[in-house]
Structure 1
Amino acid sequence: MLELAILGFLHDEPLHGYELKERITALSGHVRPVSDGALYPAITRLVKAGLLEQHTEPGAGAAPRRILSLTPAGRAALLDRLRAPKPVEITDSTRFFTLLAFLRHLHDPVAQAAVLRRRLDFLEAPASFFYDKGRPVRAKDTEDLFRRGMLRVARATSRAEREWLTEALAELAGRAGSAGP
Structure 2
Amino acid sequence: MACPSNRTQEGVENVLELSILGFLHEGPLHGYELKERIRGLSGHVRPVSDGSLYPAINRLVGAGLVAEYSEPGAGAAPRRMLSLMDKGRARLRERLRSPKPVEISDTQRFTVVLAFLRHLEDPAAQAAVLKRRLALLEEPTSFFYEDGVPVRMEDAGDPFRQGMLRVARAAGREERAWLREVIGQLEEGG
AA of the residue aligned to 1:145: P
Off by >6 Å, runs of 4+ in structure 1: none
Q: Shift in Å at residue 143 of structure 1?
A: 2.0
What is the TM-score of this pair, normalised by structure 1?
0.96
Task: After superposition, give the CA deviation of every residue in 1:49-100 in whole Å (9 maximum; x if it has no partner).
Answer: 1100000011111221000000110000000000000000000000001000
Q: Shift in Å at residue 109 of structure 1?
A: 0.4
- Any residues of structure 2 matched to 1:72-111 within 5 Å, and which? 72-111=86-125
- Any residues of structure 2 matched to 1:32-51 within 5 Å, and which? 32-51=46-65
Q: Shift in Å at residue 115 of structure 1?
A: 0.1
- Any residues of structure 2 matched to 1:29-178 within 5 Å, and which? 29-175=43-189
In structure 1, how many angstroms separate the alpha carbons of the residues matched to 2:88 and 2:96? 12
In structure 2, how many angstroms separate the alpha carbons of the residues matched to 1:147 and 1:41? 40
Q: Shift in Å at residue 30 of structure 1?
A: 2.1
Task: Report the count of equivalent residues.
Answer: 176
In structure 2, how many angstroms separate the alpha carbons of the residues matched to 1:175 and 1:63? 49
AA of the residue aligned to 2:168: A
AA of the residue aligned to 1:163: A
In structure 2, how many angstroms separate the alpha carbons of the residues matched to 1:60 and 1:89? 38
In structure 2, how many angstroms separate the alpha carbons of the residues matched to 1:78 and 1:148? 40
Which consecutive unaligned segments of at least 5 residues does structure 1 have? 177-181
AA of the residue aligned to 1:139: M
In structure 2, how many angstroms separate the alpha carbons of the residues matched to 1:145 and 1:74? 48
Which consecutive unaligned segments of at least 5 residues does structure 2 have? 1-14
What is the TM-score of this pair, normalised by structure 2?
0.91
AA of the residue aligned to 2:97: R
In structure 1, how many angstroms separate the alpha carbons of the residues matched to 2:78 and 2:136? 46
Overall identity of the aligned pairs, in %: 68
Task: After superposition, give the CA deviation of every residue in 1:117-136 in whole Å (9 maximum; x if it has no partner).
Answer: 00000000000010001100
In structure 1, how many angstroms separate the alpha carbons of the residues matched to 2:26 and 2:182? 23
